């Protein structure tokens, strides 16, 4: 770590920084230049309270040399990690497409959705029993009843289920219902108490990127889960908020190669929440696979026009099947399967 001092720093202020670093268990090394004096701190940067250093008189800025995240960093684990969900591997040579409706609505709807997911060749199914909605008056999901409905429909086709956990108080319910993959949604990316509790389980976790989160903040959120002992983490880019209103969110395709460089964990993409319109989903999905994503999280509804939530962005079963064929061709070019 490097502490850059202000141009008119006094000896007294410089000594205060050195003493503070020693109190933190670091060894300070002062380097005086013509215009600036910098202090190098040798030791474990993770124990340093940066804010307390920046608050000292004479300090201009503090610059990390080490990454603040360790367990999820590729530099600590050069080989790419795969996450196993039953007999399915995420992050390996085969891409995995997780498909299904935004929300659980009825038993008939879920059974038809499960049939469509399986028929398209997808090996995992998604749906929301608990729904975070912008409006408190919008459909919030069927709760435990919906979770049971989801399990029953998916089990007919031996599909592992992926569903969102919003409240830490429901974690035991998720575990008792044997949810295969817990999704942490964008609004809860920095719900640190929730991340800590999920970290104490061994259930695979899909961690979606926050609406305005930086890559570093996203990686640090994953570190909370990993620090608890759960290393079965899958990053999911779902678009970030910008000034543009032509689409729902801006899909950050650049995040794929950046994450692949920064972390050894699998990376998937949610093109449905990025575009917000079903006609955009295939193009975004193709781009994601071409950029190196390990899989996709796609919304599909047996009758999109009748969906209780996110109707505009849901594919039909036929559209999903067609997309799978296109993705298979792209994956083959990259030496991967689907």
Residue with token string 């929730």: 194
Q: Residue 88: which region, alpha, beta or left (left: phi > 0; alpha: psi -120 to 50)? A: beta
226-273 tens-digit pLDDT = 999 999 999 999 999 999 989 999 999 999 999 999 999 999 999 999
pLDDT-derived band at 31 (thresholds 50, 70, 90) equals: confident
Higher pLDDT: 131 or 21? It is 21
Residues above pLDDT 90, as percent of the chain: 82
- Mean per-residue pLDDT over the chain, rounded: 93
Do residues 315 and 299 lie in contact, with contact meaning Cβ atoms separated by under 8 Å? yes
Higher pLDDT: 57 or 77? It is 57
Q: How many Cα atoms sit within 13 Å of 176 on the Cβ side?
A: 7
pLDDT-derived band at 136 (thresholds 50, 70, 90) equals: confident
For the chain, list the domains and their CATH numbers.
Answer: 2-63 (3.30.70.1140), 74-333 (3.20.20.70)
User: Which candidate, 97, 91, 93, places its Cα nearest to that of 281?
Assistant: 97
Higher pLDDT: 30 or 317? It is 317
pLDDT at 135: 76
pLDDT at 1: 82
161-202 tens-digit pLDDT = 999 999 999 999 999 999 999 999 999 999 999 999 999 999
User: What span, in angstroms and rounded, lies between the C-alpha atoms of 245 and 1?
Assistant: 40
Average the pLDDT over 318-328 and give the result. Answer: 97
Q: Residue 100: which region, alpha, beta or left (left: phi > 0; alpha: psi -120 to 50)? A: left
Higher pLDDT: 7 or 85? It is 85
């Amino acid at each position: 770590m490097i502490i850059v001092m202000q141009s008119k720093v006094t000896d007294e202020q410089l000594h205060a920084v050195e003493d503070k670093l020693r109190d933190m268990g670091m060894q300070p090394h002062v380097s005086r230049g013509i215009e600036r004096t910098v202090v190098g701190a040798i030791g474990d940067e993770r124990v340093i309270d940066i804010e307390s250093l920046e608050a000292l008189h004479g300090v201009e800025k503090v610059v990390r040399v080490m990454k603040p995240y360790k367990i999820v960093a590729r530099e600590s684990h050069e080989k790419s990690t795969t996450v196993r969900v039953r007999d399915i591997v995420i992050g390996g040579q085969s891409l995995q497409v997780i498909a299904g409706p935004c929300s659980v609505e009825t038993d008939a709807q879920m059974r038809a959705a499960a049939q469509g997911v399986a028929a398209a060749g997808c090996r995992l199914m998604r749906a929301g029993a608990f729904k975070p909605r912008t409006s408190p008056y919008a459909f919030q999901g069927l709760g435990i009843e919906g979770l049971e409905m989801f399990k029953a429909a998916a089990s007919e086709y031996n599909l592992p289920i992926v569903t969102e956990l919003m409240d830490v108080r429901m974690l035991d319910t998720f575990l008792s219902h044997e949810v295969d993959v817990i999704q942490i949604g964008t609004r809860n990316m920095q719900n640190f108490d929730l991340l800590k509790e999920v970290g104490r389980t061994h259930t695979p976790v899909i961690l979606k990127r926050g609406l305005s989160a930086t890559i570093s903040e996203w990686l640090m959120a994953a570190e909370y889960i990993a620090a608890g002992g759960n290393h079965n983490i899958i990053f999911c880019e779902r678009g970030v908020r910008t000034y543009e209103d032509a689409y729902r969110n801006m899909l950050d395709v650049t995040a794929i190669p950046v994450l692949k460089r920064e972390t050894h964990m699998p990376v998937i993409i949610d093109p449905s929440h990025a575009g917000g319109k079903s006609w955009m989903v295939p193009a975004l999905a193709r781009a994601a696979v071409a950029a190196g994503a390990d899989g996709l999280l796609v919304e599909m509804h047996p009758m999109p026009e009748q969906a209780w939530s996110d109707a505009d962005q849901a594919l039909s079963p036929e559209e999903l099947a067609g997309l799978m064929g296109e993705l298979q061709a792209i994956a083959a070019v990259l030496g991967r399967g689907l």
